[in-house]
Amino acid sequence: MGKRFDLGEQVGVVIVGAGPAGLVLGNLLLDRGVDCVILERRARAAVEGRARAGFLAAHSVRVLTDNGLAAGLRARGRTHATCLFRGDRGEFTLDYGRLGRGEVHTVYPQQELVRDLVAEYLRRGGELWFGQEVEEISAGRVRVRGGQDVTGRYVAGCDGHRGVARRALIAQGTRTSRWDHGVSWLAVLAEAPPSMAAVGYALHERGFAGHMARTASVTRYYLQCPRGTDPAEWSEDRIWTELATRMRTAEFGPLRQGPVLEKAVVDLRSDVLESPGAGRLWLAGDAAGLISPSAAKGANLAVLQAELLAHALTEALTRGDETGLARYAADALPRVWRAHEFSHWMSGLLHGPADDGAEARYGRALQYARLESLRTSRTHQDYFAENYTGI
């Protein structure tokens, strides 16, 4: 990774953060002849090794394919077109690939996508600096701890929900709309082959359980848990026992078990900034808004926003036309809010009250009414399919 310019020089775009949003944006800008540099606070091994979501919507696959970024997912990704729902009234499989717009997901672990994007960005001659902790962003100047300031005509904040870029934009007066879903998940990554051909959603009076295939030998599981749960409280035996209970293995067959590679608690919260940028600072990905993982929209929104922002920044830097930047919020936010609406609906479908009081029984009855409507109504199924795979 050779240094082609002094970090004290001004570049077209300084991208803060080397997650999917920053890496897709950087690759698209380079491909359009815009000079940029990516600053990432973590080491390369940490960036490329962190296991995250793995469901890519059809639009994300098209963006990656059209821009020469899909070699890995074409070679190793697997398409999913069905999902399975279980409850105390049985199970059914929804073939969403034959419903709605007929679109499917491509399952490709995010860490593999990130490795692909890093390699392609460097192959295209991009500047990517790991171990650079950004302390402040102001008027196009990015201050790096213990190093030189980096100045760009524009700064793209792609450094996540707790990043410096988001704080800088909020400090300028941008407001946030937010929602706490009141639900937490124990997220478990297991070295175990998938136990189902499809994504599995299990509804149970003890709480939701989810099964998400990642690779032929690794599976992601989720268990609804109380807010404030310590992952250390969950031994491997407890995890597999609870998964077996909620996924009703006595009725539908056992899970394929293996060592737990990692476990963490995720609180389901969502928020959206009223505008994803202003002036010389523009955001994409989790920096612009956090979405709950209940419908696997986070990485796909990041790709969408990176695509829109790349076009707007290119027009501004190559033609002096900032119309695209002025329109960025209007282009992105309707699709962001539609994704949030569906994610919110999915959260209501999957998470019912856990106690046995009158209100809890009422809530669980509504939950199963939603599920029964999804099982029997073609109109409901088409809505689900279009929003489940769409951005």
Question: Which are the catalytic amino acids?
Answer: 80, 201, 293, 297, 388
Two structure tokens written together for 369:
């009414």
CA distance 369 to 22: 41
Most distant CA atoms of the chain, gap in Å? 67
- 43 burial (CB, 10 Å; 0-12 / 13-18 / 19+) is exposed
Residue 190 Cα distances to 193, 215, 220, 319, angstroms: 8, 11, 6, 50
Assess contact for 69 and 24: CB atoms under 8 A.
yes
Q: Residue holding tokens 């359980």?
A: 209
CA distance 246 to 227: 19
Assess contact for 316 and 326: CB atoms under 8 A.
no
CA end-to-end span of the chain, whole Å? 35
Question: Residue 264 contacts by C-beta under 8 Å, 6 or more apart in sequence?
Answer: 186, 187, 231
Two structure tokens written together for 16:
């803060």
